[in-house]
Amino acid sequence: MTTTGGREIRRSRRFARITALFAAALLSALALAAADSADSRATTPPPADKAEIFFVNGGRIVSIKSDGTDREVLTRKHGSVSIFSRVSDSAPLPSPDGQTVLFTRTARSPGKSGVMAIDHEGGPVRRILGFKADPDGILPQYSAVDWSADGSRFFAFRFQAIEKDKSTTVVRTSLLSVRTDGGGIRNLYSTSVTFSDEKRTAGDRWIPIDASVTPNGKTALLAVITLNPGSKMRLARINLATGKRTWLAKNTGQADIGPDGRTVVFTSERDKLNESCYDGFCSYQPKLYLINLDGTNLRRVITPNQEGSYWSPDFSPDGSRIVFTADRETRRSWFGTEIWSVKKDGSCLTRLTNGSPRSGEAAWGAGSLTGPGTCGEADLRPVVDVTYPRRAETMKPRQMWLGRKYDNLLLSETWTAHKSLSSYFADCGALDIDDCPGMISVRSTQVCGAGIGNELTSGFYGGMESLRGGLVIDFGQRGPYGDGLSTHLLTGGIDVSIEAETQIGVKPVSRRWRRAAIDQLRYVGANAPPASYHRPVFADRTIRAAHRLLHIYRRTGSLRQAAIGAGLFGARGRNWRQVVFQYERKGALSWLRFARDLKKIGSFGTVGCPK
């Protein structure tokens, strides 16, 4: 029998999933010429008026010039840049005069979003739309998508998820025209779809998630998608006077209408390059294309066989260049996307940003010079704003990390959980990807939460050595089920592991590389590695198992009997938690070598761990 509470839980989960999906989809300073002295006949020419570019970086709105210089964080200057942040800013939209930047602010709990505004040079943030319920008590979510040509109004999407009953939800999406103060709202185009038990039962199955409007305000170009598994986005041309929809292109991504009102830049997987499949659905690297708004003259912008995926294209105010997001030179790392620009004819491809967290969703501001000055990749030194959470400073025992950069790898994300601090290095700070090793993760945790017992059982043990009072243990051997890819430092009750991440086509970092990285570990809050470490501490269960294995082996001479007798193989746990580990000689040998090496390292401590 289904209880009322059970129905409510499923209902709330269904509603949350639908809401989250749509919410996620929606989800230059002008320089003055200085006059010469009164007795001078010549005047100094005005300085170059470089165009501004605004983009998203770590849930913040950031600006740069068209050549990548003068980087400035505009919003959430002191906020977290983690992907787990409770508040994040996205989708910058500079006004035609370049003085104001609209953007979407999302509060992950309780799931609010709205349109905010800030001056192009920064300053106070002001609310324009959203963050309060409408007269029907529904909390809409808003996202600004374009401006009118004169800058007096902007266009925005309003998303509403209306729960009709316990099994039915109606999702309404509206394209609005809004005054810059948030008033005078006009509904230009709407869609509605009804879901019953998470299946569409009525309404338009194509849901708008992005839009661009022609300068004359007569036509909107919508990026639409369905909820069907494996669904590909399409572009639809909408006559805003009649509401008539005409399909422009299939298998597309985001798009932008140029200032001429006729040319469209968009992303697409249509060339099916570098296939990646999961769970029966395949995707490809999206590339940049141009097409006329009437559907003619489809052409590529950049040679499609070049490595990398491209997203979020945006035309410069003069229509000569396109700024976009790409994961070129990152080995397809989600954490490594950067901002690039290119001429409309595909020439002068130039990288504009380098650093961590990831950058994306770029949009042009005002300024007459849209070129980068020098085409190609300038000497972009990486900027790393990712750091450990503040909570890590108070954790006991004191945790360790590898810093923000190591051997051209950039810190991409950090998080704390229970009594551990984890770091992920998945971005390359070098401009040539061949100058970066493979990705790594670093985990610092109390020894009771470490997993060296599992790595020993897997047969990965490669030896141990003392290091300034601490202990380094390598797990780089090949086991029966794969290769060991980690090296550990044990000191003062913590276990710090450096583990190579596996990537298709990329050689994992070597044992020697991991050992060198161990030497650069430092305590949270410290600027350099310590001169000495505390003595190593093991979980008492690990030491008991090693000693028992050695004792039985010496007595019987049977490695199999010793390993099973020590409880390393066979059934573990009770009742439904019971797990059976089949005996593996390589795993048993791994434990035997470990037990013998313990006798050679000298003093170490143990700590009791909960079962």
- Does a structural domain hold residue 495? yes
Q: Per the structure, how many domains does the chain have?
A: 2
Give yes or no: residues 531 and 454 share one domain.
Answer: yes
Give yes or no: residues 491 and 543 share one domain.
Answer: no
> pLDDT band for position 68 (50/70/90)?
very high
Give yes or no: residues 485 and 543 share one domain.
Answer: no
Proportion of the chain above pLDDT 70, given as a percent: 88
Please give the average per-residue pLDDT across 380-384, as a whole number: 93
Please give the average per-residue pLDDT across 222-235, as a whole number: 88
User: In which domain, by residue range, is 531 found?
Assistant: 390-536
Whole-model pTM?
A: 0.88
Helices (DSSP H) in 34-110: which residue ranges?
none
pLDDT recorded at residue 38: 37
On the question of pLDDT at 29 being above 80, the answer is no
Task: For 307-366, give the DSSP string.
Answer: S--EEEEEE-TTSSEEEEEE-TTTTT-GGG-EEEEEETTS-S-EE---EES-EEEEEE-S
Please give the average per-residue pLDDT across 500-520, as a whole number: 91
pLDDT recorded at residue 450: 84
Please give the average per-residue pLDDT across 10-29, as a whole number: 40
> pLDDT band for position 84 (50/70/90)?
confident
Residue where a domain terminates, one of 536, 566, 598: 536
> pLDDT band for position 28 (50/70/90)?
very low
Give yes or no: residues 450 and 527 share one domain.
Answer: yes
Give yes or no: residues 474 and 553 share one domain.
Answer: no
Give yes or no: residues 519 and 542 share one domain.
Answer: no
Give yes or no: residues 402 and 477 share one domain.
Answer: yes
Beta strands in 480-525 (DSSP E): 482-483, 486-491, 494-500, 522-523
On the question of pLDDT at 234 being above 90, the answer is yes
Closest CA to 315 of 347, 290, 297: 290
| 565: three-class secondary structure by DSSP | helix
Give yes or no: residues 397 and 419 share one domain.
Answer: yes
Please give the average per-residue pLDDT across 52-70, as a whole number: 97
Residue where a domain terminates, one of 477, 501, 536: 536
- Does a structural domain hold residue 56? no
- Does a structural domain hold residue 499? yes
- Does a structural domain hold residue 212? no
The answer to which of 14-18, 253-257, 600-604 has the lowest mean pLDDT is 14-18
- Does a structural domain hold residue 472? yes
On the question of pLDDT at 512 being above 60, the answer is yes
In degrees and rounded to multiples of 5, residue 239 shows phi and psi of -80, 110
* Under 8 Å between Cβ of 352 and 341: yes
Residue where a domain terminates, one of 483, 518, 536: 536
On the question of pLDDT at 510 being above 80, the answer is yes
Note the pLDDT tens digit of each residue in 390-415.
999 999 999 999 999 999 999 999 99
* Under 8 Å between Cβ of 537 and 579: no
Please give the average per-residue pLDDT across 71-77, as a whole number: 97
Distance CA 104, CA 255 (A): 18
Give yes or no: residues 438 and 570 share one domain.
Answer: no
- Does a structural domain hold residue 568? yes
Amino acid at position 475, single letter: F
On the question of pLDDT at 576 being above 50, the answer is no
Report cis status (omega within 30 of 0) of the bond before 110.
yes
The answer to which of 32-46, 156-170, 296-310, 544-558 has the lowest mean pLDDT is 32-46
Distance CA 589, CA 594 (A): 8
> pLDDT band for position 198 (50/70/90)?
confident
Please give the average per-residue pLDDT across 202-217, as a whole number: 92
Give yes or no: residues 524 and 450 share one domain.
Answer: yes
> pLDDT band for position 19 (50/70/90)?
very low
| 69: three-class secondary structure by DSSP | coil
Give yes or no: residues 575 and 525 share one domain.
Answer: no
> pLDDT band for position 46 (50/70/90)?
low
Beta-carbon neighbour count of residue 245 at 10 Å?
17
Give yes or no: residues 530 and 544 share one domain.
Answer: no
- Does a structural domain hold residue 284? no
pLDDT recorded at residue 110: 64
Place of tokens 């050595």: 465
- Between strands 579-581 and 299-300, the pairing is unpaired
Average pLDDT, the chain: 87
Note the pLDDT tens digit of each residue in 284-304.
889 999 999 999 999 999 886
On the question of pLDDT at 475 being above 60, the answer is yes
On the question of pLDDT at 109 being above 70, the answer is no
Distance CA 17, CA 13 (A): 6
Distance CA 411, CA 356 (A): 7
pLDDT recorded at residue 118: 98
On the question of pLDDT at 370 being above 90, the answer is yes
pLDDT recorded at residue 47: 58
Q: Which two tokens stand for residue 17?
A: 């999933």
Note the pLDDT tens digit of each residue in 345-367.
999 999 999 999 999 999 999 99
Distance CA 51, CA 66 (A): 5
On the question of pLDDT at 211 being above 80, the answer is yes
Task: For 257-269, give the DSSP string.
Answer: E-TTSSEEEEEE-
Higher pLDDT, 109 or 103: 103
pLDDT recorded at residue 578: 44
- Does a structural domain hold residue 486? yes
Distance CA 381, CA 399 (A): 29
